[in-house]
Amino acid sequence: MVFNNKLKLCMAAALALALAACTSGAAPKSASSDSPPPGKGKAFNLDPFPSTYRPYPGTPTAIVGATVFDGEGGRIDNGTVLIAEGKIVAIGGADLAVPSGATVVDGKGKWVTPGIIDVHSHLGDYPSPQVKSLSDGNEATAPVTAQVWAEHSVWPQDPGFSRALANGGVTTLQILPGSANLFGGRSVTLKNVYARTMQGMKFPGAPYGLKMACGENPKRVYGGKGREPSTRMGNVAVDRQTWMKAIDYKRKWDKYEEKGGEIPARDVAMDTLAGVLGGEILVHNHCYRADEMAIVLDMAKEFGYHVTAFHHAVEAYKIADLLKASGTCAVVWADWYGFKMESYDGIPENLAILQRAGACVMIHSDDQNGIQRLNQEVAKALASGRRAGIDISDEQAWTWLAINPARALGVADRTGSLKPGKMGDVVLWNGNPFSVYTRPEKVWVDGAMLYDADNPRLRPVSDFELGQPGEGDVK
């Protein structure tokens, strides 16, 4: 009874306050309108699917007597690489002291490199076996699908991951949505390790990417449906309209984070584009023709964002100076061209010409088989350049597989070269890695040996493969 009386008194007091507010003409304020400023980047959870990656256990290891490419253009003959506690400890010549208790690996007649980084892969989103029920890379339902995240389609059981590791020496890779849409969605960077979940593979702290596309793909997909865009001018128009919306969206959230007040409405697609405008999310743009890449660079200036890289970039050699000036990387194939009109004017010297011009350049796969032979793709590009009189050293060419892609993914401070303190992502090749006869012999990820050609027990096999024909095959 005492409790009820107290409750009645509280209710009466609240009612009196409300009536007083109405009488004075002051409308009661909503809770949201009084929200204090949360601070920059704290309005909502920017990382709702955080990495749970933990390195596998490793042992202190010294690889001795090998030819070492450090991934940044350096070379050491008869070199030594020391790995401990998941990190590169030191690299040097034959006189580098090997700590007692370290496992010593004989590298005589072999090569040591940083693990290969592929900035354009669809593994997990278009996994093996290639059947419709597993085809999850393109949300081809609207030209703007910035709201989708590639990581939510990644199937960790894809046998392609282990083939990329064992056959290709790939230790880090970016998984992108497909290129049907102008704004395809967010990409995710993964460590190439076995895990039960996507988050168990997710590269800790790596920035997200935004997949964009220009040219034939969007206009073909949506023009075929009788809707915008159906032309290249339609592509650019939709892009510009979308960036205008993103700027307005970001302005509202910036104001709220700084001054508080009423909380703006969330839009998952605009969250991603606002992240690009704020510099936290990196733009990876599918584009073939030089003229279209130049237009995109101007559009980026118009709306205040930066194009991190053009992917495929078959005609990048025509605008090497523009790419260098804008700090935009060219992500290319060695010799894929001519399979559609926008790829018609490709040349095998593309990569070498870009290198000579001082542009940021690298190789990529965009293919579940090609990712297993990226070292050979670089060998082809290297040979094409040399035949054209562009002299590039082997060790310099390895930057196309290591530090340059690490920079394009925003992780060059942690991987991409054999520098002390960086992740112990290392490959021991059984010969010159630019030979078609050479294969990875051992692969370490964060200092843990995850593949050993001489030890059948160290060949990663996903649960999906168990009991299947070809289980663990690395041919």
Q: Using H for helix, E for strand and C for coil, what is the string for 10-27?
A: HHHHHHHHHHHHHHCCCC
Cis amide leading into 469 (omega within 30): no
Q: Which amino acid is at 7?
A: L
Q: What is the pTM of this model?
A: 0.92
Measured CA to CA, the distance from residue 316 to residue 192 in angstroms comes to 29
Which pair of tokens denotes residue 124?
Answer: 């997990």
Please state, in angstroms and as integers, the Cα–Cα distance from residue 194 to each residue in 134, 139, 154, 166, 191, following that order: 19, 26, 13, 12, 9
Which pair of tokens denotes residue 377?
Answer: 């793709």
Measured CA to CA, the distance from residue 429 to residue 177 in angstroms comes to 31
Count the Cβ atoms, other than its own, within 10 Å of residue 314: 26
Burial of 330 (0-12, 13-18, 19+ CB in 10 A): buried
Q: Which amino acid is at 426?
A: V
Bridge partners, residue 111, by sequence: 67, 429
Q: How many CA atoms lie within 13 A of 160 on its CB side?
A: 24
Q: Under a CB-based contact definition with an 8 Å cutoff, are residues 43 and 270 in contact?
A: no
pLDDT in tens, the chain (475 residues): 433 444 344 444 444 444 444 444 444 444 455 789 999 999 999 999 999 999 999 999 999 999 999 999 999 999 999 999 999 999 999 999 999 999 999 999 999 999 999 999 999 999 998 899 999 999 999 999 999 999 999 999 999 999 999 999 999 999 999 999 999 999 999 999 999 999 999 999 999 999 999 999 999 999 999 999 999 999 999 999 999 999 999 999 999 999 999 999 999 999 999 999 999 999 999 999 999 999 999 999 999 999 999 999 999 999 999 999 999 999 999 999 999 999 999 999 999 999 999 999 999 999 999 999 999 999 999 999 999 999 999 999 999 999 999 999 999 999 999 999 999 999 999 999 999 999 999 999 999 999 999 998 898 888 999 998 888 888 6
Q: Which amino acid is at 125?
A: D
